[in-house]
Amino acid sequence: MRDRVVAVRYAQALLDVAVERQVLDSVCASLATLAGSVTAYPDLRVFMQSPQVPTQDKKALIHTLLDDRVDPVLVQFLELLLDKDRILFLGDINEEFATLVERHRGLQRAAVVTAVPLAADLADQLTRKLEQLTRQRIILDQKVDPSVIGGICVTMGDRILDGTLRTGLAELRRALEHAPLR
């Protein structure tokens, strides 16, 4: 991420306007698609980020491609990004916007790392426990990493619950290295 502060500021502004005008679902879907397109088509990204291309030409392209296809709030937002020379942050803004939308909807992502895939019933139990702990609806993002050996590591925002065997063994090793010898 280039500049998280800039991305969060613009994402929050877009969220506020989209909620106020009751177009959050439309803006969320359109922004994700647009950010994906800019990533998928390098020529489009170069055109939009190029200082040699006049801003008016970039705005004309946006209107040609997006008018009647996306909510006017998003078109105005893209024009703002062009005017402020912040269009290069579009991908970062999209990521932050998605996070803010989830938070707005009372959702919390939990990245779960295990040595083997979690069985469906264990994933459901874990989801319920995390929902009790956070008092939010949880979206589990499961990842398998054999290097954890056993146990589970859960990351939610800036909170990490690490109950992996790898971490336990590392802590035991540190304790034994610092234990006095007789």
Q: What is the CATH number of the domain that holds 169?
A: 3.40.30
Per-residue pLDDT of the chain (182 residues), as tens digits, is 567 899 999 999 999 999 999 999 999 999 999 998 888 888 988 998 899 999 999 999 999 988 888 999 999 999 999 999 999 999 999 999 999 999 999 999 999 999 999 999 999 999 999 999 888 999 999 999 998 888 899 999 888 888 888 888 888 888 888 888 77
Last residue of one domain, picked from the residues 61, 85, 103: 103
* Angle formed by the axes of helices 24-40 and 90-104, nearest 10°: 150
Question: 57 and 44: one domain?
Answer: yes
Last residue of one domain, picked from the residues 103, 133, 165: 103
For 112-123, the DSSP string reads EEESSPPPHHHH
Question: 16 and 93: one domain?
Answer: yes
Question: 19 and 89: one domain?
Answer: yes
Q: Does residue 182 lie within any of the structural domains? A: no
Domain that holds residue 118: 108-177
